[in-house]
């Protein structure tokens, strides 16, 4: 099968969040299963491409009424072909998102993806789209491109990585940016709540819609989690699939990770994890003490990630015999109170308000516990990484957190982490206290570590689930 992925970010080239991890590892896994995969993404200024890429073509394309230059470069990585769409007006800037003209930048990218297919004869069986930035490809394909012979019979799938970001905008952009008739706004195909809504359009036009965990697939059908799209999702519920993301076991691997001090696997975790813990305590300016439980937090600082609960209970947590390492960047609203608490408890909290890949790996490797009390979590990769590194997650039972962390059962000695149900600071604190009690029973705690490291959360099963969806579309 030939599968082309269109995405705004993908490892190893550019990453702002979990989307890049998925697009870096799902295509690779499908290639290993004998399929042909290509990934198309913008050529951003921040990519370190150097000599690794090769020029493919350049031509002009239309974006609404605009005639735009479109350059194409390519690279091979792990058996996957990556195509980079070049246009300096749109992508020669720092970072990935957050510009006033993001809608126009990704409208350009959407056209560029569809044009590329015929320009270099890359017609896929399945065109797999990801999040709002590529959502309008589904509408453009069904309303325009599918009528040209070359484009016939491509199946379109759309994956929701986070329904909170939908690409809501002014209805006029439908014709101005996408050259589509305003009728598609008025008939509701591209409209939601009085806005032109790109994600709504993708849910409407795609042949199948997937999201990144079975629990999230159920949650987004409800008023509480659907972010206004629950009705269209209800309408498409027979074509909606929840497939848990995996993580790349080759790169996320404590026995080879170049970022950590002492490698380990399941056989050596109990000897070597304490060495990583001591080094992390040193690196973070915390007293080196093997006995004090060390809790890690690696996150974007946004409301989604449960920062309100963490900030609410941090003073209380400081009354316990614990250390906390926080690595996060994002909203000042959360950075400021976290900084204030950390300044007061600098022997117990290490606050690292930045994006730092190396430190994130050392936190996964060196901590005893990993706290992730998300308000909602489509899938979440951080809890899977901590499991892989034998670091016990403490999570709220939502979305992929519920699907990937099995709650500890002290009577049957089962489970891989600790979880609580309601978005409630006291429930979170009670669950942390429970984890701290179990931590003091070394036999039980080591059992948890062993089961966490046994959890199989790689792409093998998940890639098969994607193939099943693709095959069902291709008949
Ligand atoms: P999301 O995509 O919603 O941010 P995920 O848990 O799916 O959440 O993925 C987050 C990814 O980004 C993980 O690989 C995590 O380690 C990484 N990450 C998040 N914040 C930071 C940070 N400040 N520094 C380094 N890595 C980070």
pLDDT digits (tens, 9 = 90+) for 388-406: 999 999 999 999 999 999 9
Residue 403's pLDDT is what? 98
Q: Which of 8, 11, 14, 18 to mutate to test the pocket of ligand 1 (most atoms within 8 A of CB)?
A: 18
Burial group, residue 288, by CB count within 10 angstroms (0-12, 13-18, 19+): exposed
44 C-alpha vs ligand 1 centroid, how far in Å?
20
Residue 318's pLDDT is what? 97
Mean local confidence (pLDDT), 129-152: 98
The confidence band for 348, taking pLDDT boundaries of 50, 70 and 90, is very high
Contact 409, 415 (CB under 8 A): yes
376 closest CA partner among 212, 192, 135: 212
Place of tokens 């579309």: 473
Answer whether 24 contacts ligand 1 (Cβ < 6 A): no
**Which residues lie below 8 Å from residue 194, measured CB to CB, with a gap of 6+?**
none
Average pLDDT, the chain: 97
Q: Would you say residue 317 has pLDDT above 90?
A: yes
DSSP 69: E
Burial group, residue 54, by CB count within 10 angstroms (0-12, 13-18, 19+): exposed
Helix (H) or strand (E) holding 277: helix 269-283
Q: Would you say residue 295 has pLDDT above 80?
A: yes
- Helices and strands (H and E) in the chain: how many: 18, 18
Stretch among 44-48, 78-82, 381-385 having the lowest mean pLDDT: 44-48
178 C-alpha vs ligand 1 centroid, how far in Å?
32
Alpha-carbon gap, residue 475 to 471, rounded angstroms: 6
Q: Would you say residue 50 has pLDDT above 80?
A: no
Percent of the chain residues topping a pLDDT of 90: 97
**Half-sphere exposure (Cβ direction) of 72: Cα atoms closer than 13 Å:** 22
Percent of the chain residues topping a pLDDT of 70: 100
Which residue(s) pair with 128 in the sheet? 5, 157
Q: Would you say residue 49 has pLDDT above 90?
A: no
Greater model confidence, 52 or 306: 306
Q: Would you say residue 183 has pLDDT above 90?
A: yes
Answer whether 335 contacts ligand 1 (Cβ < 6 A): no
Answer whether 125 contacts ligand 1 (Cβ < 6 A): no
Q: Would you say residue 245 has pLDDT above 90?
A: yes
Place of tokens 């059908």: 221
Alpha-carbon gap, residue 130 to 106, rounded angstroms: 12
Residue 475's pLDDT is what? 87
352 C-alpha vs ligand 1 centroid, how far in Å?
14
């Amino acid at each position: 099968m030939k599968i082309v992925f269109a995405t705004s970010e993908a490892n190893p080239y550019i990453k702002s969040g979990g989307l890049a991890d998925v697009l870096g590892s799902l295509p690779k896994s499908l290639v290993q299963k004998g399929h042909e995969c290509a990934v198309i993404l913008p050529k951003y200024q921040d990519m370190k491409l150097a000599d690794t890429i090769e020029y493919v073509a350049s031509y002009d394309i239309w974006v609404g009424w605009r005639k735009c230059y479109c350059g194409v470069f390519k690279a091979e990585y792990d058996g996957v072909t990556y195509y980079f769409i070049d246009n300096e007006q749109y992508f020669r800037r720092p970072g990935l998102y957050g510009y006033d003209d993001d809608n126009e930048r990704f409208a350009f990218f959407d056209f560029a993806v569809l044009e590329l297919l015929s320009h270099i004869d890359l017609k896929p069986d399945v065109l797999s789209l990801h999040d709002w930035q590529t959502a309008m490809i589904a509408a453009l394909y069904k309303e325009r491109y599918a009528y040209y012979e070359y484009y016939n019979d491509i199946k379109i799938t759309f994956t929701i990585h986070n329904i909170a970001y939908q690409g809501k905008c002014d209805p006029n952009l439908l014709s101005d940016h996408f050259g589509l008739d305003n009728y598609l706004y008025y008939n509701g195909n591209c409209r939601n709540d009085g806005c032109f809504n790109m994600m709504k359009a993708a849910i409407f036009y795609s042949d199948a819609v997937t999201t990144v965990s079975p629990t999230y697939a159920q949650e987004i059908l409800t008023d509480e989690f659907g972010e206004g799209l629950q009705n269209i999702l209800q309408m498409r519920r027979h074509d909606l699939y929840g497939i848990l993301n995996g993580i790349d076991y080759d790169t996320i691997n404590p026995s080879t990770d170049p970022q950590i001090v002492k490698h380990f696997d399941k056989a050596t975790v109990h000897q070597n994890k304490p060495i990583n813990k001591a080094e992390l305590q040193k690196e973070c300016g915390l007293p080196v003490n093997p006995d004090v439980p060390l809790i890690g937090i690696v996150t974007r600082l946004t409301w989604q990630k449960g920062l309100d609960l963490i900030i609410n209970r941090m003073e209380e947590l400081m009354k316990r015999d614990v250390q906390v390492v926080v690595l996060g960047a994002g909203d000042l609203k959360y950075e400021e109170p976290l900084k204030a608490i950390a300044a007061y408890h600098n022997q117990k909290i290490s606050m690292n308000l930045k994006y730092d890949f190396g430190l994130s790996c050392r936190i996964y490797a060196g901590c005893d516990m990993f706290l992730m009390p998300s308000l909602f979590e489509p899938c979440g990769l951080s809890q899977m990484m901590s499991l892989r590194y034998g670091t016990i997650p403490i999570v709220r039972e939502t979305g992929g957190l519920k699907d990937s962390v099995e709650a500890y059962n002290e009577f049957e000695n089962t489970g891989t982490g600790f979880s609580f149900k309601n978005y409630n600071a006291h429930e979170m604190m009670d669950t942390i206290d429970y984890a701290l009690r179990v931590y003091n029973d070394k036999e039980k705690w080591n059992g948890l570590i062993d089961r966490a490291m046994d959890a199989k959360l790689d792409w093998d099963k998940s890639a098969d689930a994607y193939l099943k969806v693709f095959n069902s579309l291709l008949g």
